[in-house]
Structure 1
């Protein structure tokens, strides 16, 4: 039996395929919030990584400009596809993603538990695939914001990605924002089917907890804004000034948390 994460991957890939199906050439060239990346480039990025994970793309082409590491890898996938029609790039993504789903559904249980490289360090392969769901959905939202075509802001994939953000909120609240011992920050996100989430600080450690009746600070935003802030796509100061994200309770702490939200590198 394959891991449930496979169904989430299929859902996000199908959503991206539907988004791209009717785009014009001009829309494929639309710049996104990822510097230097167009809508086409976002799809190329997803395609390149899945080809690598399938073992079909172990050494991407060399790039210019002195890029190293993941930046060099990303550009190596994107640059050769920039001259290709968006529909052709999308077809390539659909092809590799279909083959990846077949591979994942046939993966033995021991392979899911096998520890190896992931973007957050060595971890089980299962963890890598959970990260892939988040990464693909985040890039889908990059495309949607650029195109002005909102969508896929609810459902199992979105809840999975909100869970991923929650996993990292202890770092944001405790380390980056410096919330003091005894404080609790609640994230009240419109569109989160699981309701408000909280991070409590005790004995110098910040970790997810049940939302209390009287939190120290509460951060209010919608799913798209919250995700864009966490991914570093939206400027926190601008979001505060524009009322896209608001604070109740301890204003100083809440605003420090909002300014610290960008954690995805």
Structure 2
């Protein structure tokens, strides 16, 4: 059984990097609009605080989490916004303290949990490493929205390896939430890390393939950029369709981001398969 400590450590590092980005913001900067419609910088941090505390409940009190999840899933189209609204009105210093205390408690709970334990979640149950990976993925994705609002660029790190793995593992989930039957065979995923390393997943001889920068793949599966703005190549109709619907987050298909660039003249795969529009999580 893999030791979950490295991904928990990377989750802490990812959170601390975002913390440094917002710790000295003025009250006016907390109100800046982010790419998520209707969400300010404060909404982004309030959402992370709410989800960290939901994860803490899942790890430490499964019954309390299930009660929370039952209410949330009864309001599938609004519970994400409602969760953010719970603390978005706090003064910035209080909101920041609220987020810090929740993520610190989650960090301790994940480290104390049995490595083989599984916890309930809004999607399939999560193991310790999976829960930490999901929190890292969401923290990274929302930090991009905050950085965009502030007009800064975050340098990618090889912590993206965790998000890549999650994106690959959630392939079939993405098909399912669109009402589609997942392909039977694995895809070959070959991505270049920020460090220059090459990360591979799936059989070397798989006919369906995806290649490109790991950063672009992570932007795709977290739906922080439109596919047309990313340098990802799909070979095969199944791989091509997946790039239109991929999502690494639980819940229904999101709305996606609008393309910034003009559509490319050439298709991204030899056979372009019609598929549902991409969605986007907040």
| TM-score normalised by L of structure 1 | 0.68
Q: Distance in 2 between matches of 1:215 and 1:246?
A: 16
Query: Match for 1:127 among 123, 127, 130?
Result: 130
Q: Distance in 2 between matches of 1:128 and 1:97?
A: 13
Query: Match for 1:220 among 212, 220, 232?
Result: 212
Q: Which residue of 2 aligns with 1:167?
A: 169
Structure 1 unmatched runs, 5+: 199-207
Q: Which has the higher strand share?
A: 1
Q: Provide closer, same or farther for how the CA distance between residues 163 and 47 of structure 1 changes in structure 2, counting only shifts above 3 A.
A: same
Local SS of the residue matching 1:15: helix
Count of aligned pairs: 237
Q: Distance in 2 between matches of 1:86 and 1:260?
A: 36
Show the 5 A alignment for 1:39-188. Answer: 39-55=41-57, 68-69=74-75, 72-105=78-111, 107-109=112-114, 112-155=115-158, 157-169=159-171, 185-188=188-191
**Whose Rg is larger?**
1
Q: Provide closer, same or farther for how the CA distance between residues 108 and 184 of structure 1 changes in structure 2, counting only shifts above 3 A.
A: closer
Local SS of the residue matching 1:209: coil
Deviation string, structure 1 residues 21-76 (Cα, Å, up to 9, x no partner): 1223333223233332222111111112233444599688xx9xx99445544333
Deviation string, structure 1 residues 105-162 (Cα, Å, up to 9, x no partner): 3x252xx43333123323435432332222222222232233332225113x322112
Q: Provide closer, same or farther for how the CA distance between residues 186 and 163 of structure 1 changes in structure 2, counting only shifts above 3 A.
A: closer
Q: Provide closer, same or farther for how the CA distance between residues 79 and 184 of structure 1 changes in structure 2, counting only shifts above 3 A.
A: closer
Q: Provide closer, same or farther for how the CA distance between residues 248 and 138 of structure 1 changes in structure 2, counting only shifts above 3 A.
A: closer
Q: Provide closer, same or farther for how the CA distance between residues 178 and 79 of structure 1 changes in structure 2, counting only shifts above 3 A.
A: closer
Q: Provide closer, same or farther for how the CA distance between residues 47 and 253 of structure 1 changes in structure 2, counting only shifts above 3 A.
A: closer
Local SS of the residue matching 2:108: helix
Question: Does residue 232 in structure 1 map to residue 223 in structure 2?
Answer: yes
